[in-house]
Amino acid sequence: MSTLLIYSIVFIEGFCSLGAEVIALRRLVPHVGSSIVVTAPTIGFFLLALALGYASGAKVSASYLSVVARNFLLSAAIAGVGLAGVTVDALFAQLQPATLAYMVFIAAVLCPLAWLLGQTVPILTNLLKHARTGEASGMALYWSTLGSFLGSISLSLVVMQWMGVSAAVFVCSLGLVIGTLMLARRSRKTIALSVLIATVAGVLNYQHVLTADTAYAEYRVGAVDLPDQDNSRAFWINQSMASTIDDAQPPHYAVYIQHVRKIFLDDLGFKEKDILVLGAGGFTLSHREPLNHYTYVDIDPAIRAVAEAYFLREPARGAFIADDARRFVATSDRRFDAMLVDVYSSHNAVPSHLVTREFWSGTRRVLKPDGLMIANLILDSKLESAYARNVLATIENVFGRCAVEVLQKGQSLANVEVSCFASSLPRATSVYVDERNGADFDRIR
């Protein structure tokens, strides 16, 4: 077997193995989020399976090409089927809690892929007969790592951005099929199985029906039956209902959006104000609202085009900046009269770097001295959980006392609107007791 062909196979292994890991992390976002407690174990399990694959490959002493061809063929099937959106969605729909579905996904899809592909380099270096051991392993690892680099970059920044995650899954599966055919070109059985696997992978990933699918999120727009609304439709981001709108005149929006619009327009009478929105959602805060100037910041450059084409069905009002919310508030030179913080990656999951004291300090930084910050949080309606208590305490550590309104008190999870003014400051507090009651003095002061 020629050295060039060996390096080509190793390159495909690197490209598809790390590509599969990137795809797996992206597939998990709608179901378990993208926090460090999800990504770190996922990467860790992948590396563990890869290490076990290296050890298994080192023990292979014969039939090198047929073993690698078999591994590639199995990996193509696992990637094409196991990483398909319909498969992952069905897995998390049928297995609860989500932690159980996550572990099954890791054990049945990601780890077998890494284990099978990890065997490639130690097996194929046996065929580099005229090279020193160090040279053979070094060059094989070079081409494998180069493939990993190009796979992670091209799949995440090119394929996912322009064609979607399902297309990236098919590219990964097809690459492994091509590698199989390069290794076993004369086997009719292998050719037939390769064609079958490529076809199944193509069909499964083509059937993942979404309005749009990018490297950051999957989007879906569809009809939804809501009381007292006229032909309403919803905008789902990562399988979480982010916005709603209907055909009434004027339109009805999601409860929390109508609440924020009432604060800005009715309670405070905003006109000609600069309003910042972190997390674009469906762009409904500014929908048909000509009185103020809106700037939306969202990490996904594609979200505005998707919302305009399928959800709003008209141009969105306001400027749009594709950027990370925390980076924007940390670096922007602009100052705003008000802002809405509405940042979610999935369901009720706010990215962890957007709930810290440093982030809330950044939001205060871009407010004018008398500016208003409203944060839309999804918390337990009784505010009894550790997360609810701590996130509210973190905000008030920066802004001082804030108004907290629970919008759906009868539900287990509710929209909680936290309203804070930049003019307020965190101050020490004391408890009134009968022995030393300073209530009257404080009231006069």
pLDDT tens digits, one per residue of 418-429: 999 999 888 888
Determine which of 154-158, 205-209, 274-278 has the lowest per-residue pLDDT on average: 205-209
Q: Does the pLDDT at position 348 exceed 60?
A: no
pLDDT of residue 345: 62
Q: Does the pLDDT at position 141 exceed 80?
A: yes
Q: Does the pLDDT at position 187 exceed 70?
A: yes
Which structural domains are found in the chain, ordered by start? 3-209 (1.20.1250), 251-421 (3.40.50.150)
Q: What span, in angstroms and rounded, lies between the C-alpha atoms of 108 and 82?
A: 8
Q: Does the pLDDT at position 321 exceed 70?
A: yes
pLDDT of residue 228: 80
**How is 188-256 classified by DSSP, letter by letter?**
HHHHHHHHHHHHHHHHHHHT---SEE-SS-EEEEEE---TT-SS-EEEEETTEEEEEE-SSSSPPB-HH
H or E element: which one contains 48? helix 36-58
Query: What's the pLDDT tens digit per position in 352-382?
Result: 888 899 999 999 999 999 999 999 999 999 9
Q: Identity (one letter) of the amino acid at 224?
A: V
pLDDT of residue 8: 94
Query: Average pLDDT over the chain, rounded to whole?
Result: 91
Query: What's the pLDDT tens digit per position in 203-217?
Result: 988 866 677 888 788
Please give the model's pTM, rounded to 2 decimal places: 0.81
For residues 30 and 346, the answer to whether their CB atoms sit within 8 Å is yes
Q: Does the pLDDT at position 349 exceed 90?
A: no
Mean pLDDT of the region 406-422: 92
Mean pLDDT of the region 53-67: 92
At 344, the pLDDT band (50, 70, 90 cuts) reads: confident
What are the two backbone dihedrals, phi and then psi, of residue 224, each rounded to the nearest 5 degrees? -145, 140
Query: What's the pLDDT tens digit per position in 277-312?
Result: 999 989 999 999 999 999 999 999 999 999 999 999
pLDDT of residue 188: 86
How buried is 345 (Cβ within 10 angstroms: 0-12 exposed, 13-18 middle, 19+ buried)? buried
pLDDT of residue 161: 83
pLDDT of residue 208: 67
